Structure 1
Amino acid sequence: MPLPLPLPTPRGGAPDSPLRRLNDASVRDAERALLTCCGSARWAHRLAAHRPYPDVEALLAAADEASYDMTHTDLAEALAGERVDQPLTEGPSALAAHTALRAAHAAYEARFGHTFVVCLDDCRAEERVDLALVGLRTRLVHDEDTERAVAAEELRRLARGRLARLLGAAPRTDPARP
């Protein structure tokens, strides 16, 4: 998957390497590309400033570290840019499932003031609606501090998966998971 921006072709070597293009891009272009993975300007700036990365795993590790170091303000900025993604299911039962999801999302946003985020990259498609609903219902009872920590971890996992896809790698969101 190519980077979503017109990044310059690198000098010599593999011109089609998304990591190489990211490494060789201007800070501004790199930040714009990275903001498609996580909406925190500080997160994107930090990753862009620490280039070049020798490989995708080094960049993913740096992204994790930057995610762990996000302040409340950084997290709020990143969450403000999130939106409910594409439908999680299709077919005759989809309408009922999406009605339930919309209601749960509305309750979550009313309680916490931001979009519900959950990373479902490692889940089978047929499990996603149920897992999202369970996550919403479970997390609605959290206090604000607990939910902020859970949302930050889910956002880290989402950013990691998006970054891997941006670079054409498999979106393993949790390296500790088998």
Structure 2
Amino acid sequence: MTCCGSLRWARRVAAHRPYPDLDALLAACDEAGYDLTPSDMHEALSRESSAALHPRAPQAAHTALAAAHAAYESRFGHAFVICLEKYGPDEHLDQLLTGIHGRLSHEPDEERSVSADELRALARARVARAMAGRP
């Protein structure tokens, strides 16, 4: 449940254990993610929190990000989710702000689809990190 906040997703992934290798586990995670209903997505998104910056980031960065998150959450009713796995920590603020501002122009249906893709990527990254013993 810490990898994806959908009980259905967690049950589906757990039901097929043991997995022969990480690739098989990640494939099962992806499949379970694609099978989520709108209600399951709502459950998972309601358990997400908007991405934060390192506490030592400049206060102006925290303020800008908080304002962007508030605008996003007001428009779409859930936390902004984005997988930053392929970016270095020094790129996170730019990616977060660019992502939020770009996605604020989406229609709700389009944003639900993008959020679902990002949630699947996040779950996959979290599972991979957990299996590697990384937080």
Stretches of structure 2 lacking an aligned partner (at least 5 in a row): none
The answer to whether residue 87 in structure 2 is matched with residue 123 in structure 1 is yes
C-alpha displacement of 1:84: 2.5
Contact 1:39 1:82 in 2 (8 A): yes
Q: Report the TM-score when normalising by structure 2.
A: 0.94
Contact 1:64 1:160 in 2 (8 A): yes
C-alpha displacement of 1:140: 0.4
Q: Which runs of 4+ in 1 moved over 4 A?
A: none
Higher normalized contact order (CA 8 Å, seq sep 6+, divided by chain length): 2
Contact 1:89 1:129 in 2 (8 A): no
How many residues are aligned here? 134
Contact 1:89 1:126 in 2 (8 A): no
C-alpha displacement of 1:89: 7.0
Contact 2:85 2:125 in 1 (8 A): yes
Sequence identity (%): 56
The answer to whether residue 61 in structure 2 is matched with residue 68 in structure 1 is no
C-alpha displacement of 1:121: 1.0
Structure holding more helix per residue: 2
C-alpha displacement of 1:88: 4.4
* Structure of higher CA gyration radius: 1
Contact 2:5 2:44 in 1 (8 A): yes
Q: Distance in 2 between matches of 1:134 and 1:86?
A: 14
Matches within 5 A, 1:129-144: 129-144=93-108
Q: CA RMSD in A?
A: 1.5
Stretches of structure 1 lacking an aligned partner (at least 5 in a row): 1-34, 171-178
Contact 2:50 2:79 in 1 (8 A): yes
